Structure 1
Amino acid sequence: MSRTVTLALVDDAGVPLGALPAYDVPAPWWQEVSSVVAEARRRYGLDVAVLRLVAADRPEPPGGHLTYLAQVSGRPSVPLTPVPVDLTPEPLRAPWAEPGGPARSLAWAAEELQRLGRPVTAVAQQRTWNLSAIWRLDGAHGTAWLKQVPVFFRHEAAVLRWLARAAPGITPIVLADDGTGRVLLDHVPGEDRYEAGPDERAAIAVDHHAIQLRAVDDVAGLVAVGVPDLRGPALARWIRAALAPHDVSVVVDLLAGLDDRLAEVRRCGLPDTLVHGDLHPGNVRSDGTRRVIIDWGDAFLGHPAFDILRLTETLDAATAGSLREAWAARWRADVPGCDPEQAVALLRPVAPLRMAAVYALFLAGIEPSEHPYHAGDVPACLERAAAEAKQD
């Protein structure tokens, strides 16, 4: 599957110029724009900065025919086609999705790297969507990555700095951050481990257990630096508030009993800790010798079982069960008298319910033209939560 892309261009002042002829790129995932930028350069000799998605011919990713707004300096010599694009200001628009936004962020990153003695010689845009913008910055002293995230992920830099002290070597190194969502990260060799098998997932679970055990003793410090606090009853309140604008009829019974269920979970005796929030193998990077857990924007303080449920959710029942048994054994050894198995059983329907709330908050915090990225996720997660609740 591929994408067909139309770039609607604006100049540095945000004045619309027209659209380039449509072209195909191999990667079907809408937020991946490195090939979009490279193909515009190859075909038309243009250096563009992709700002945001403005239209799609299908309700959700991947693939299809997409129109992006992109910025270019000067007026292209290639003939452009008039195209209607709504340039009305939008209060929920990400700062990197505005004309001039990428340039401001890259200028900040270049200044920080210069200060660190790592001057930039080449820049490549990798990704842009409502949850992040990512650029690769190369120089004679190595590669760094500029990541910019929205306000609801702003705590990620603080989490990474805490992790660098508490668990050095298994998370990305922060080179700089500006407190608003921009962070510079040192390069991590290897590849994202989307295809990790059971043995590798078991190793990831062991790595992550060490992090969570260390965080048990510093929950207050993590709260102080802005990590969302979803311990105990706060989780139920947060879920209900996030899902209030949505049709939750399929999980009405689960929501009605959520406080009692979470009270039972607390009686299982596991401590609250730092939760990654999206611990699937694609958020682990490895070069075969070193594993690094990345993308901590979904992190919160709460129950550790959420991460083992996420790490095992795509596995067959027997394999998932084996990994969860090992996870439970570690917690029983470290917290005598706790009941990890019962906690997992109680939280199985809550895990997709929490994810539905996460996607609901994304939708509430991003501009409408980017809703197709997530609109289908809320009902899909609610259906999964209902299915898990029926198996209680």
Structure 2
Amino acid sequence: MSRTITLVLVDQDGAPLGALPAYEVPEPWWQQVGAIVDEARRRYDVDVAVLRLLAADRPEPPGGHLTYLGQVSAPPALPLEPVPVDLSPHPLRAPWAQPGGPARSLAWATAELHRLGRPVTGVVQHRTWNLSAIWRLDGPHGSAWLKQVPAFFRHEAAVLRWLATAAPGTGPALLAADGTGRILLDHIPGEDRYEADDTERAAIAVDHHAVQLRAAGDVDALVAAGLPDLRGPALTAWIRDRLAPHDLSVAADLLAGLDDRLEEVRDCGLPDTLVHGDLHPGNVRGDGRRRVVIDWGDAFVGHPAFDILRLTETLDPAAAAPLLDTWAARWRTDVPGSDPHRAVELLRPVAPLRMAAVYAMFLAGIEPSEHPYHLADVPACLGRAAAEAEVSLSG
């Protein structure tokens, strides 16, 4: 599957110039823009910074015909196609999605690397969408990554600082952060472990248990540093508040009993701790010698079972069971008298319910043109939550 790209260009002041002829790129995922930039340069000799998605011909990713907005420093030599496009400002537009935004962020990152004695000789744009913008900055002392995120992810820098002290090597090395959502990260060798097998997932679970056990004693400090506090009743209130604008009929019974369910979870005796929030193998990077958990923007303080449920989510029950059993055994050893298995079963429908609330938060914080990224996710997660609740009742 590929994408067809229409790239609408604006100049340095944000004035429209027209669109390049449509072209194909091999990457189907809408937020990946590296190939869009490369093909614009190869086909049309145009150097462009992609700002944001303008329109899609389908309701959700991947693939399709996408229209993006890009900025150039000078009008290209070839004639551009006139296209109607609404470039009016929007209050929810990300800083990096506005004309001049990428240049300002790259100037900050370049200055920070210069301060660290790491001059920049090349820049490559990799991703831009409503949840992040990512560039790679290369130089004679290696590569670094500039990541810029919205307000609801800004606590990622605080997590990385904590990991650097409490669990060195388990998270990306934070080189700089400006408090507005920009963070500069050192390069991590290897590749993202999307295809991790059961054995590798088990090793990820062992590593993560050590982090969570260490973090259980630091939850107040993590909350004070800016992490969302989703312990017990706070989780119920957060979920209901985020989901209030949506049709909740499919999960009404689960929501009605959520307070009682979370009280039962509390009685299982596991401590609240640092939760990654999206611990699938693609958020683990490795090179055969070490594994590093990346993308901590979804992190919060809450129940540790949410991460093992995410790590085993795509496995069939027979493959997931040994990972859950060993996860539970570790917690029973470290917290005698606790009942990790029961906590997992109680939280199994709550995990997709929480994800529905996460996607609802995204939708509430982005401009309408980018809603297709997440619009289908809320009802899909609510449906999974209701199905898991039915299974738990029948069991």
1:84, CA displacement in angstroms? 1.2
1:73, CA displacement in angstroms? 1.0
Q: Which runs of 5+ in 1 are unaligned?
A: none
Q: What does 1:63-102 correspond to in 2, within 5 Å?
A: 63-102=63-102
1:85, CA displacement in angstroms? 1.3
Moved over 4 A (4+): none
2:108 aligned residue: 108
Deviations 1:14-34 (A, max 9, x none): 000000000000000000000
1:39 aligned residue: 39
* 1:376 aligned onto 2:376: yes
1:342 aligned residue: 342
Partner of 2:143, secondary structure, is: strand
1:228 aligned residue: 228
TM-score under structure 1 length normalisation: 1.00
Structure 2 CA distance for aligned equivalents of residues 212 and 222 of structure 1: 12
2:238 aligned residue: 238
1:15 aligned residue: 15
1:388 aligned residue: 388
Deviations 1:167-213 (A, max 9, x none): 10111000000011000000000000001000000000000000000
Structure 1 CA distance for aligned equivalents of residues 85 and 297 of structure 2: 31
1:75, CA displacement in angstroms? 1.1
Q: Which runs of 5+ in 2 are unaligned?
A: none
The AA in structure 2 aligned to 1:217 is: G
Identity of aligned residues (%): 79
1:79, CA displacement in angstroms? 1.2
Deviations 1:194-235 (A, max 9, x none): 010000000000000000000001011101110000001000
Q: What does 1:22-33 correspond to in 2, within 5 Å?
A: 22-33=22-33
Q: What does 1:116-155 correspond to in 2, within 5 Å?
A: 116-155=116-155
Structure 2 CA distance for aligned equivalents of residues 369 and 166 of structure 1: 41
1:291 aligned residue: 291
Deviations 1:334-376 (A, max 9, x none): 0000000000000000000000000000000011100000000
The AA in structure 1 aligned to 2:61 is: P
Partner of 2:279, secondary structure, is: coil
1:278 aligned residue: 278
1:74, CA displacement in angstroms? 1.1
The AA in structure 2 aligned to 1:295 is: D
Partner of 1:184, secondary structure, is: strand
Deviations 1:317-346 (A, max 9, x none): 011111000000000000000000000000
Structure 1 CA distance for aligned equivalents of residues 311 and 14 of structure 2: 43
Partner of 1:234, secondary structure, is: helix
Deviations 1:298-329 (A, max 9, x none): 00000000000000010010111110000000
Structure 1 CA distance for aligned equivalents of residues 172 and 152 of structure 2: 20
2:354 aligned residue: 354
1:125, CA displacement in angstroms? 0.2
TM-score under structure 2 length normalisation: 0.99
Structure 2 CA distance for aligned equivalents of residues 305 and 21 of structure 1: 49
Structure 2 CA distance for aligned equivalents of residues 128 and 134 of structure 1: 7
The AA in structure 1 aligned to 2:250 is: V
Deviations 1:15-60 (A, max 9, x none): 0000000000000000000000000000111110000000000000
* 1:247 aligned onto 2:241: no
Residues matched between the structures, number: 392
Structure 1 CA distance for aligned equivalents of residues 78 and 22 of structure 2: 13
1:189 aligned residue: 189
1:288, CA displacement in angstroms? 1.0
